[in-house]
Chain A
Amino acid sequence: MEMPAPDPAILARKAHLAARLAAVLPQDAVIQDEMETRAYECDALAAYRCPPLLAVLPRTTQEVSDILRICHEEGVPVVPRGAGTSLAGGALPTADSVILGVARMNEVLETDYDNRVIRVQSGRTNLSVSGAVEEEEFFYAPDPSSQLACAIAGNIAMNSGGAHCLKYGVTTNNLMGVTMVMMDGTVVEIGGAHLDAGGLDLLGVICGSEGQLGVVTEATLRILRKPEGARPVLIGYDSNEVAGACVSDIIKAGILPVAIEFMDRPCIEACEAFAKAGYPMCEALLIIEVEGSEAEITHQLDLIIEIARSHNPVELREARDADEASRIWLGRKSAFGAMGQINDYMCLDGTIPVGALPQVLRRIGELSDAFGLDVANVFHAGDGNMHPLILFDANKPGDLERCEALGAEILKLCVEVGGCLTGEHGVGIEKRDLMLHQYGPEDLEAQLLVKDVFDPKWLLNPAKVFPLSVTKARRGQALAAE
C-alpha cells in the first residue's frame, strides 16, 4: 500500500515543532522519543506500519485546539487517533505527521436520563459509555465488535455499526452533537441535546469522514432504556441459498429482530474448533435475536421458527435460559479469535443488497478456489453487511499480496451487485484505491469539495479515503505553499 513520501522539510523541523507543542501542552503530552512513537506506528491493520514524527496526547478541547493551530501554522499533517482499532488503516501515520491521540480524553461530562442523552469526551471507549448509564438500565446502542477497546472518536470517524444496528442504527443515527476542532484550531459546536442540528446537516457529513474534516473532542449521544430481555435462536441450513431465503422471508413477514447473524461452513468449523459452542456442522448458520418481555420474545421467536421450519432447517435450537443464549452467541463472538488461531486473516466489510446473498457467497467460493486462499464468511445478514475473512500466511512470501488481490475482487463483486466497499469499517488506506470502482471522478470530486471547505490545506489525515492519484494536487498545495 503506497503512502506519500514524507516531506524532508518537515522531518528537519521535528525539534522545532516539538518545542512549540511542548510550550502549550503539559509535559507528558508530547511524545517524541523514537522508541515511544513506535507505539503509534499502526492500528489494527498491522500489516502497514510507520512511526509518526511525534505523538501528542491532549486532555482538553483547548489543548486539541492549540495542537491543531500550531500544526496548521507549521503545515504539518495530523492523523487523529481514537483507540487505534481501525481495521482499515484509518490511523496509520506517515513519517512527517503528528498523531493526535484522544485516549486521555475519556471523561463522562453529563448524563441526562430525562432527555436520554450522555455527553462524553471522545476518547471514551464505546462499552464504557454504556457502562456509565448501566445502573439506570440504559445503554448506548451501536456495538462494534471491538467495543471493549474502541473509542467514540473512532466510532464517529468510521460511522461504526455492530451486530445490533439492524434495529438501533449505526453511529450516525445515535449521534446528536459534537464539539469539534477545525484544522486551524477553531472550535465549533454542532447539535446537542435537541434533535436535528439546525441548518445543513454538518453532523451527518462529519460522521464517517475518517478524521479528515476535524477532530471531534466531545460528543452528545442518544442513550436508550434497555429492553426487558433478549433471546437468540440458532438455525442451521444445508445451503446458503435457503438460509438467505429464510432471512428475506422473516423480514418480509414484518419481524424486525435486533440481530440476524450468518455464518458459513468454513466459519462454523473454525468457531466450533475454537470455542466448542456445540454448533451443528452445516452449510449455513443463522443466529437471530429478538427483544422484549418474556411473552413478546416467545411470540416473535414462534413466528421466526415457523418461517424457519418452512425452509426445512437441519438444526433449530432455541435458548431456554441465559446460559443457552450465551452458548449460542459464544461461537459467533469468538469468530475473529478463532480465525486468528488458524492463520493470519484479513477481514473485509463490503455490504450487499440482502437479496444478492446466495449469489455473492457462491462467487466468493469460486474466487477463493481461484486464488487458493480459504475464505470464511460471517456477517450481519439483516442489513447485508458481510465480513469475509480471508486466511493467509503472513510469513509466506506473496501471500499478503494474493490475499489483498482476492479481497479487492470480493469488494468489486459487492459493488457489482449494487452494494458498497465498506459497511462499517471505513475506507482508510485499505480500500482507498477501490473507490473508483464505486464512484466516478465527479462523484469523488464532490466529496473532495467538502474537505476543501473544512480543511483547505489538506492537513488532516490527508492520505486516506481517496486514491492518492486523485488527491495529489490538493495534498501538494500545503507543500507548495511553503
Chain B
Amino acid sequence: MHSPKNEAELATLIADAKAPFCIEGGGTRGCGGRGERLSLRGLSGIELYEPGSLTLVARAGTPMAEIRALLASEGQRLAFEPMDARGLCGTVGEPTIGGVFATNSSGPRRIQGGAARDYLLGVRFVDGIGQSVKNGGRVMKNVTGYDLVKLMAGAYGTLGVMSEVSLKVLPTPEALATVSVEVPDLTQAVRAMSAALGSPYDVTGAAYDPVMSQVHIRLEGFAPSVSYRKERLGAELAGFGEISSQEDSAVLWRGIRDVAGFHEREGDVWRISVKPSDAPALAPLLEAEALQFDWGGGLIWALTAPGRDLRARLAHAGVAGHATLVRAAPEVIATLDRFQPQAAPLAAISEGLRRRFDPRGLFNPGLMG
C-alpha cells in the first residue's frame, strides 16, 4: 500500500506511477477502483480553524473524529451531516474528511442546508500527471474562475487526488426536537413531509420509517424557537395522523443518516435520488426487502436481493433521478456498475474531463466509467 506523508510525496508517487491506484481515505465506504491501494491517511492534520469566520482547512486524510472534536470544542459542526458508512458497509477504520468530500456524503440536512459540496470552499489536489493544483479558497463567496471545487466533490477521486480541503462550518444549534406523525402509508407520508418542508418553520430533516409508519420532522435552533415551531408544526400536521414529539432525538437522526435499519442485514443497498412526489409510485416497483425514506421522500434507501437492477425499474416507471449501488458483492457491482450511467452527451463530457485530468487512467479506474 502506498501511503505518502505529504502533498509533495503524493505528487511524486503519481508522476512516477506505472500502474493505477485504488484511492482511499479511511477505506470505510468500500468504494475504490481497480489498482494498488493509495491511502491518504498520511496527509493528516487541521491546518487552520477560525470559528469566527466559520472556516476550517484540513489535509485530506484527517480523521473525521479529530475534526468533529475540534468543532465541538467551539460549539460548531459540519452542517451537511456526512454519514458514517461503517455500519452499513461492514467496514472498520476511521472515516476521513477527504473521503467525505470525494463521495459528497450528505445526510438528512441536505434538504435544508445543502450537500457536502455546498460546504467545500477550496481544494488542493494532484492531477493525473502529478501536478499540484488549487481551486477555490477559504472564503464563503468565490466566483474567481471555474468552480473545480464542486467538480472534485463527488468525483470519487477520479479527477484528482485531493490533498487538502477548506470548508465552511456552522454553529451547532442550542436545541433539537423531532415531531413525529403516524401515517397510514407512503403517499400520506410524503404529503406530510411536503407540508412540513413547505412550512415557514425551517425544517432540517424529514424522514419516513415504513416499519413504524412514522414520519419524523426535525427542528433545530434556539430553545424557545424550537419549542414554538414544534407546537405550530404539530398543529399543522395533526390532520395526517397522531402526533408525538421528542427532544432527545440525536440518536434517531444518526440512525436515519447511517441507515441503521439495514445494518447487519444481507443484500444489496441502493441509494436512489428522485423527486419526492415520485417516491410513492416508485417504491412498490422496487420490490425491496426493506426501505427507508429521507429528504422528504426524495432519498430512498433500498435493501434488495443481490443482483437486482433497480435502475431498470426507475426507467420503467418513467421516474427521473439516479440510483447508486452503495453496497453489493464485487461481481454484482461489476455487472450493474456502482453509478447510474449518464445520457450519451453527458457521459462524453464526463469522459472528456477524466481523460484530461487523468490522461493515464490512474485514478480509481472502472469506478465511475
Which residue of the partner chain B has the closest CB to A207?
B147
Q: Is A422 positioned at the interface, with any CB of B under 8 Å from its CB? A: yes
Contact of A115 among B115, B150, B275 (CB under 8 A): B275
Contact A201 B153 (CB under 8 A): yes
Contact A200 B141 (CB under 8 A): no
- Chain B residues, CB < 8 A from A443: 133-135
Once bound together, how far apart are the Cα atoms of A160 and B249, in whole Å?
A: 37
What is the interface size of chain A, counting residues whose CB is below 8 A from a CB of the partner? Answer: 94
- Chain A residues, CB < 8 A from B274: 194
- Chain A residues, CB < 8 A from B151: 200-202, 204-205, 450
- When A114-B276, A198-B342, A254-B75 are in contact, do A173 and B142 touch as well, CB less than 8 Å? no
Q: Is B321 positioned at the interface, with any CB of A under 8 Å from its CB? A: yes
Q: Which of B53, B276, B295, B347 has the most CB of A within 10 A?
A: B53
Contact A351 B142 (CB under 8 A): yes
What 1/0 mask marks residues of chain B from 129 to 162 whose CB sits below 8 Å from any chain A CB?
Answer: 0011111011111111111111101110011000
Contact B146 A194 (CB under 8 A): no
- When A195-B115, A225-B200 are in contact, do A115 and B277 touch as well, CB less than 8 Å? yes
Contact B368 A200 (CB under 8 A): yes
- When A201-B154, A465-B145 are in contact, do A196 and B273 touch as well, CB less than 8 Å? yes
Which residue of the partner chain B has the closest CB to A223?
B198
Contact B52 A355 (CB under 8 A): yes
Contact B343 A353 (CB under 8 A): no
- When A182-B345, A353-B55, A454-B349 are in contact, do A296 and B322 touch as well, CB less than 8 Å? no
What 1/0 mask marks residues of chain A from 346 to 380 whose CB sits below 8 Å from any chain B CB?
Answer: 00000111110000000000000000000000001
Which residue of the partner chain A has the closest CB to B346?
A188
Q: Is A36 positioned at the interface, with any CB of B under 8 Å from its CB? A: no
Contact of A293 among B171, B228, B277 (CB under 8 A): B228
Contact B134 A383 (CB under 8 A): no
- When A116-B197, A201-B104 are in contact, do A353 and B50 touch as well, CB less than 8 Å? yes
Q: Is A61 positioned at the interface, with any CB of B under 8 Å from its CB? A: no
Contact A193 B150 (CB under 8 A): no
Contact B298 A228 (CB under 8 A): no
Contact of B224 among A115, A169, A299, A351 (CB under 8 A): A299
Q: Which of A114, A190, A292 has the most CB of B within 10 A?
A: A114
Q: Is B299 positioned at the interface, with any CB of A under 8 Å from its CB? A: yes
Which residue of the partner chain B has the closest CB to A380?
B141
Contact B322 A194 (CB under 8 A): yes
Once bound together, how far apart are the Cα atoms of A205 and B349, in whole Å?
A: 12
Contact of B134 among A200, A205, A439 (CB under 8 A): A439
Once bound together, how far apart are the Cα atoms of A372 and B198, in whole Å?
A: 53
Contact A353 B147 (CB under 8 A): no
**29 sample A-B contacts, Cβ–Cβ < 8 Å, listed by A number:** A113-B194, A113-B198, A114-B198, A172-B147, A172-B150, A173-B118, A192-B275, A194-B273, A195-B273, A198-B322, A199-B346, A200-B350, A200-B353, A201-B153, A201-B154, A201-B155, A204-B147, A225-B199, A252-B52, A252-B171, A254-B173, A292-B225, A295-B225, A299-B224, A351-B139, A439-B144, A440-B134, A453-B349, A465-B145
The 7 A-B residue pairs with the shortest CB-CB distance, nearest first, are A204-B150, A198-B322, A254-B171, A248-B52, A423-B141, A453-B352, A383-B140
Instruction: Please list the residues of chain B having a beta carbon within 8 angstroms of any beta carbon in chain A.
Output: 50-55, 74-75, 104, 106, 110-111, 114-115, 117-118, 127, 131-135, 137-151, 153-155, 158-159, 170-174, 191, 194, 197-200, 202, 221-222, 224-225, 228, 273-277, 295, 298-299, 320-322, 324, 339-340, 342-343, 345-347, 349-350, 352-353, 356-357, 368-369
Supply 5 further A-B pairs (C-beta < 8 A) apart from A195-B110, A385-B140: A199-B346, A205-B150, A419-B137, A439-B134, A443-B135
Instruction: Please list the residues of chain A having a beta carbon within 8 angstroms of any beta carbon in chain B.
Output: 112-116, 137-138, 158-159, 161, 165-166, 169-170, 172-173, 182, 186, 188-190, 192-205, 207-209, 225-228, 248-249, 251-256, 292-293, 295-296, 299-300, 303, 351-355, 380, 383-385, 418-427, 431, 435, 438-440, 442-444, 446-447, 449-454, 465-466
